[in-house]
Structure 1
């Protein structure tokens, strides 16, 4: 019998404005026939001996590709995995410093740390990317477009980030138009901790403690971050700070050899200084406004491991409360969003390398704001996917149907194929459909339209790859295309015939837009000499509004990262990351250009014995002035140093 644990715990979560599953949760759900150490192998029989925690932490496994625990070489989809070791080497609390090493990923931020940060996959909007944290959908239903804010997601308790690029609603349902980002939090044993101090009055600390025996695991995690920041308004002088504390508990218990109970409970609270648009000019400027975000999320699950059948049932819930205060300290806006979800996933081994994965989920989203009364919408869906592994060939194909309270039913189909060649080369291809349900704000607010249909997408990609990321000689080249339709946009009522507006509305949301994103992604890495490794990623993304022919806002056509790491014989490690981003436009009309930029970061680390390490880095070495959103400030040169220990 083979058992995989859930690794469910706390991470620092979003706080500013907007916000789906899994750590190793699908590992706990399903043991797929293609879960192997190589594309052609099947799991070995261990004679009934219980698998230890260490045995189960297999870094090459990813769960975002198809909903199963799968060797990354057994999927034809474009997936990048950033593990804990790489996160530690990069240093810092900001997850975008790691995500910039992933092909096809670009981002924009409205000011300093903690400010709203949107992550785009292959030109898809940040609200069209499904984000999962430890099995719990983390979108805030009270946010206008239902996206996820990476601004206050910190890396201190993160063990792994999986990034799937391409539409994949077949397995994951709503929101997976651009792809899926799966964030797994840490579930180690022993005690670990780190403390970092640096520029702009920044302090970042994280800690972990975990205990395990043959039949249970209990772990605690926590992080604390505080910075004085800098002005969100590029023209301002007032510092806009940010602080956040997050705590969580993880537990699982083997009720019997074939039955496991698991769950986690987490809380985070963040306080962010923000700038506004004060009278009389109503342009972005220094203000003393603040935003407080309080989040609770968690789940409980029960997993059955049979000889050929694996089943897991789970209930999860996430609450997000946000409150904004004006310069005077009076409450100016308040919102409450809640998600409840029940799901069942399973996998049945048929014959040989043939398996069938299946699942059902029911999700209820609710919201209420200072200006909008309580409203909710429910969506439920079911999927089936067949997988076949034969030698160096792996194939998956599946379909899904969802039913929503307002727009009715939507179907999604997808498939992928991977074939291994000589000398560790691999061909891969995938096709996927995606959809995004209208947000509660788009449906029920004063500007809402209850006749909205879901946004839809169809994506294709084709790639070739040699080796594996992060080791030996690695090369990957992909071409992709995604067509989207029925995109939801705000429209003014005047002159619209027929009008989607209700009586009294001057504007509403409607399915009016179409877009296309196509391009190439390249990734390479090589061990030059000794312990010197040089790697790089480059992306060309042509993201176009097909109604106007203009470029989509804040989507650079060219961007990439070069990074190098070297380790001396006595333990000293040195590294550098060079981020290069081309020009883009700030607005849909392409009136305001955002100039491209180049940023260089340097870092170093030195161990002292087996349990202590000192580290430091310099960000934006040449103190470059740049923007990712027009009018909003960005960080200048920063120097940081810290220490981490374990026992």
Structure 2
């Protein structure tokens, strides 16, 4: 299976460049600058507000996992509170602003400009996103428009690869942790011609912790063991003094066992991409990518502890690309024109078994799948009016998308009689128009005001359309008739810089997600849910962020208050809070990082209670956790590193279905060494 990603990035990265002019005297115009990054951010970007996570914070993760770092941004959430070691991969959707959880991503996640969500499920392969491979992460809450903007109804998370200046020639680390856990990684980066090549790999495994509460364990209960690896090859080569070619290939595999012996899941991918960047008068950002993914999962009966379902094969392929052009239209404008396309296809093969009979015979064979295609054109302009000294920036953009859902089918064959039932679903297609406008006014060096309004849409994933699933005792049915979700939102904010190195921001928002896709409980059968479009979810609230660099001390904090309500006239859950949506979330990090000597980083996080289901019958209590990382340099580029997760050993409930619970990561301690990082 092969997945190829092509990267283009709309992130701003620090000006850390590898410069080389092999055949020219210093100062000549033909000097070649190779960065491995994308084009600069347009000047109107701050109008939409964002939170930036820098490289040092990425390296100071106690868990070593990107989803934990993303939790620094209050309001970021996955479908479950578990990380990518102890959650089913299909639960790893990303969303923002408490718009409700349904396991698919409502947030567009880009790696060097390439959408990385699974083509079939829509989940994010977090275990393949190693923090030390990244330069910076930018999280923008609210609808997005630019390249691949379809799908960014809750916001956009942009990840940028580390630049050459941030990558040592050689780096390595090895850690040993609680419950016989190990984590080993290495990276090799070498200059090649006028560019560079970087190869990295990571492997981690562990016996895992008991996700099942002690009073619910049985003989078949086992810890959440995990074993995964990923490799990444990135090459950057200059073409001219203003242009370069970037290539990436990523391979990964992730194996996990959850709750019961034999309840094994596997996800894997092979991604590749190629990207062309031109920073000349006519700036160009063009990319193409391909992704090949697969997923398998075995469901074990919680009453007989025999296999009840084998989701044995879910191959999927994603192909896409974009071309963005920024023509020279004068010093007051940055105009972006582009086109992008995404194609996704996938199949689900699963076998059902009779878990009530000792022989555990196979009962049904099921096959389902379909195709999706989205092609959009976009235009966006950032205008900095002349004569105002750059104080005012106005920005606006529009997208037009043609989408289609095709070749959908579902087939079930009786394993005993060979009798088959099958159905083909009607092809669908339509146009969607979305846009956004924003304004940024810098009243002074210390005060900036901003406001924005936007709209957007998200297609239901192939998983939501065609794949039912079971998490005992709940069965959730697919729905091939799901309509796209559509978002409208407004926000206003203020950014303050009262002192050098100190920033404070506040944003008030109102978002409305029409035709929101939710897992709706059947009014007659308590343990049956079906994916349905509900009238709307309304989310309004306030987001606060703060950051300070005071000598060797760095502080950052984030808080989100989100009042979310489901509007579904006539339904039992009308007026309720969407599932998996906490009202309060907060995170604070304090780090002491001198130029030399020991360093320490601590992170405190709080998540308020939330509900497992649409009827608010099952509560996930609030949780407060503390993480820490300490580094002690011992010479020659080698450091001794200690990491601690959930040092309070807080009980974090990640699932509650009628009292049947799963738990999140308990106190976990790590000790290891790193070189060159």
> Do Structure 1 and Structure 2 share a fold, with TM-score over 0.5?
yes
Distance 1:570 1:257 in 2: 37
* Match of residue 254 from structure 2: 270
Output one character per residue of 1:263-318: Cα deviation in whole Å (capped at 9) or x when no partner.
1111101111123xxxxxxxxxx3322112120111123344432x1223322111
Secondary structure in 2 aligned to 1:628? strand
* Match of residue 157 from structure 1: 133
* Match of residue 501 from structure 2: 472
Of 507, 513, 516, the residue aligned with 1:484 is 513
Whether 2:71 is the aligned partner of 1:100: answer: yes
Asked whether the 8 Å contact 2:174–2:673 carries over to 1, the reply is yes
Of 593, 599, 610, the residue aligned with 1:584 is 610
CA separation of 1:174/1:163 partners in 2, compared to 1, >3 Å: closer, same or farther? same
Shift of 1:81: 1.5
Shift of 1:494: 9.8
* Match of residue 131 from structure 1: 109
Asked whether the 8 Å contact 1:105–1:119 carries over to 2, the reply is yes
Shift of 1:513: 3.0
Question: Which segment drifts farther, 214-223 or 292-301?
Answer: 214-223
Output one character per residue of 1:591-625: Cα deviation in whole Å (capped at 9) or x when no partner.
12221121122331122346222211222222222
Question: Which segment drifts farther, 587-596 or 485-494?
Answer: 485-494
Shift of 1:552: 1.1
Distance 1:321 1:57 in 2: 29
Distance 1:559 1:246 in 2: 31
Q: TM-score, normalised by structure 2?
A: 0.78
CA separation of 1:312/1:603 partners in 2, compared to 1, >3 Å: closer, same or farther? closer
Distance 2:480 2:652 in 1: 41
Secondary structure in 2 aligned to 1:87? helix
Shift of 1:22: 8.4
* Match of residue 411 from structure 1: 433
Q: Which runs of 5+ in 1 are unaligned?
A: 1-9, 14-19, 38-45, 276-285, 496-505
CA separation of 1:563/1:342 partners in 2, compared to 1, >3 Å: closer, same or farther? closer
Distance 2:382 2:44 in 1: 14
CA separation of 1:295/1:183 partners in 2, compared to 1, >3 Å: closer, same or farther? same
* Match of residue 197 from structure 2: 218
Asked whether the 8 Å contact 2:84–2:126 carries over to 1, the reply is no
CA separation of 1:270/1:562 partners in 2, compared to 1, >3 Å: closer, same or farther? same
Of 197, 215, 236, the residue aligned with 1:252 is 236
Distance 1:142 1:408 in 2: 20
Output one character per residue of 1:114-135: Cα deviation in whole Å (capped at 9) or x when no partner.
4244443111345211112233
Whether 2:341 is the aligned partner of 1:311: answer: no
* Match of residue 463 from structure 1: 493
Asked whether the 8 Å contact 1:341–1:361 carries over to 2, the reply is yes
RMSD between aligned residues: 3.3
Output one character per residue of 1:516-541: Cα deviation in whole Å (capped at 9) or x when no partner.
1111111223456x534443221111
Shift of 1:574: 2.2
CA separation of 1:51/1:418 partners in 2, compared to 1, >3 Å: closer, same or farther? farther
Asked whether the 8 Å contact 2:5–2:249 carries over to 1, the reply is no
Whether 2:565 is the aligned partner of 1:544: answer: yes
Question: Which segment drifts farther, 548-557 or 571-580?
Answer: 571-580
Of 363, 369, 381, the residue aligned with 2:376 is 381
Distance 1:572 1:131 in 2: 34
* Match of residue 120 from structure 1: 95
* Match of residue 210 from structure 2: 231
* Match of residue 90 from structure 1: 61
CA separation of 1:616/1:201 partners in 2, compared to 1, >3 Å: closer, same or farther? same
Distance 1:103 1:468 in 2: 23
Whether 2:325 is the aligned partner of 1:346: answer: yes
Whether 2:598 is the aligned partner of 1:572: answer: yes
* Match of residue 240 from structure 1: 224
Distance 2:145 2:123 in 1: 16
Whether 2:447 is the aligned partner of 1:422: answer: no
Asked whether the 8 Å contact 2:598–2:633 carries over to 1, the reply is yes
* Match of residue 605 from structure 1: 631
Distance 1:628 1:494 in 2: 25
Q: How many pairs does the alignment contain?
A: 582
Asked whether the 8 Å contact 1:551–1:590 carries over to 2, the reply is yes
Secondary structure in 1 aligned to 2:56? helix
CA separation of 1:313/1:619 partners in 2, compared to 1, >3 Å: closer, same or farther? closer
* Match of residue 439 from structure 1: 461
Distance 2:5 2:119 in 1: 16
Secondary structure in 1 aligned to 2:105? helix
Distance 2:68 2:480 in 1: 39
Distance 1:401 1:533 in 2: 43
CA separation of 1:532/1:253 partners in 2, compared to 1, >3 Å: closer, same or farther? closer
Asked whether the 8 Å contact 1:169–1:177 carries over to 2, the reply is no
Of 126, 148, 155, the residue aligned with 1:179 is 155
Q: Which runs of 5+ in 2 are unaligned?
A: 17-26, 301-305, 350-365, 405-427, 469-476, 569-573
CA separation of 1:551/1:331 partners in 2, compared to 1, >3 Å: closer, same or farther? closer
Distance 1:27 1:479 in 2: 24
